[in-house]
């Protein structure tokens, strides 16, 4: 794998006003990098401008949602020119802004592993539902890297400060039922019913008046986002400074160990 890249394919399927976006990278647990950031940004921007799209469902293939950014690629980035690293960071920021600013509601359908950037990606959506095989983790402290993608800001907003501290400082995985009890996930379903339910919810959203939907979302988000923009900027500054300290080799060493914990919960196989 080349530095700062991932082999995950981003697939789309539009039917009955519902755009399903699927991350498909079996070798890397649907990890994503700069090419996928830019692809997701373009898809979301196009969906926002397409009157034929009423709602979006974001999911993953291969029994995973996403493991987020590739830690080995981050390690290799230490040898890249700063301009190349900046391109990756800019692409990530552009994707986050496109997802948060998409005029069409986005539902995360989490069908398996969702850790680090994958967890953040799901939290950036309007809400998430999950299969009973889904697992979630925030591994920054255990990997020896500062949180990015808005993890340190969105997680406490969804599950509360104490639970966010527990997840972030221990790196422990939580299962789907715990995620629902903590307020991270709205619904938990058997795997074979997940996408049908996601489409049902998206269909109900798509049936509503788009202008009214936008106003309702804006009012809710205005309250939730108070102070979030500045906090996300600060998180990015800390992450960038930590990136230069030299902890990424440690992060890569611990990656297999941390992702291997997921096998104890749902037997997804050895870490890649």
- pLDDT per residue rounded down to tens, the chain (272 residues): 334 456 899 999 999 999 999 999 998 899 998 899 999 999 999 999 999 999 999 999 999 999 987 655 555 555 555 555 567 788 888 999 999 889 999 999 999 999 999 999 999 999 999 999 999 999 988 888 777 778 888 999 999 999 999 999 999 999 999 999 999 999 999 999 999 999 999 999 999 999 889 888 887 877 666 666 665 666 666 666 555 544 555 555 555 555 555 555 556 554 44
**Helices and strands: H and E segment counts in the chain:** 12, 10
Q: How many CA atoms lie within 13 A of 252 on its CB side?
A: 14
pTM of the model: 0.80
The end-to-end CA distance of the chain, in Å, is 12
Sheet of strand 135-137: strand arrangement: 64-66, 113-115, 135-137, 174-175
Give bridge partners of residue 20 from the DSSP assignment.
13, 57
Provide the CB-side half-sphere exposure for 53 (13 A, CA). Answer: 22
């Amino acid at each position: 794998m080349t530095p700062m890249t991932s082999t995950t394919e981003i697939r789309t399927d539009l039917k009955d006003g519902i755009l399903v976006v699927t991350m498909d990278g079996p070798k890397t647990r649907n990890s994503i990098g700069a090419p996928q950031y830019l692809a997701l940004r373009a898809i979301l921007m196009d969906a926002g401008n397409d009157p034929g799209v009423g709602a979006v469902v974001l999911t993953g293939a291969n029994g995973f949602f996403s493991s987020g950014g590739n830690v080995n690629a981050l390690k290799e980035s230490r040898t890249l020119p700063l301009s190349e690293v900046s391109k990756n960071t800019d692409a990530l920021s552009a994707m986050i802004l496109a997802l948060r600013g998409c005029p069409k509601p986005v539902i995360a359908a989490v069908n398996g592993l969702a850790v680090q950037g994958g967890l953040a990606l799901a939290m950036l959506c309007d809400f998430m539902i999950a299969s009973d095989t889904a697992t979630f983790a925030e591994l920054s402290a255990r990997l020896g890297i500062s949180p990015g993608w808005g993890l340190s800001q969105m997680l406490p907003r969804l599950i509360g400060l104490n639970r966010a501290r527990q997840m972030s400082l221990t790196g422990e995985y939580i299962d789907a039922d715990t995620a629902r009890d903590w307020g991270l996930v709205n619904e938990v379903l058997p795997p074979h019913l997940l996408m049908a339910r996601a489409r049902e919810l998206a269909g109900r959203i798509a049936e509503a008046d788009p202008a009214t939907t936008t106003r309702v979302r804006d009012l809710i988000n205005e309250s939730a986002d108070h102070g979030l923009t500045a906090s996300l900027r600060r998180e990015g500054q800390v992450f960038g400074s930590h990136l230069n300290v030299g902890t990424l080799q440690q992060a890569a060493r611990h990656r297999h160990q941390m992702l291997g914990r997921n096998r104890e919960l749902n037997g997804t196989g050895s870490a890649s």
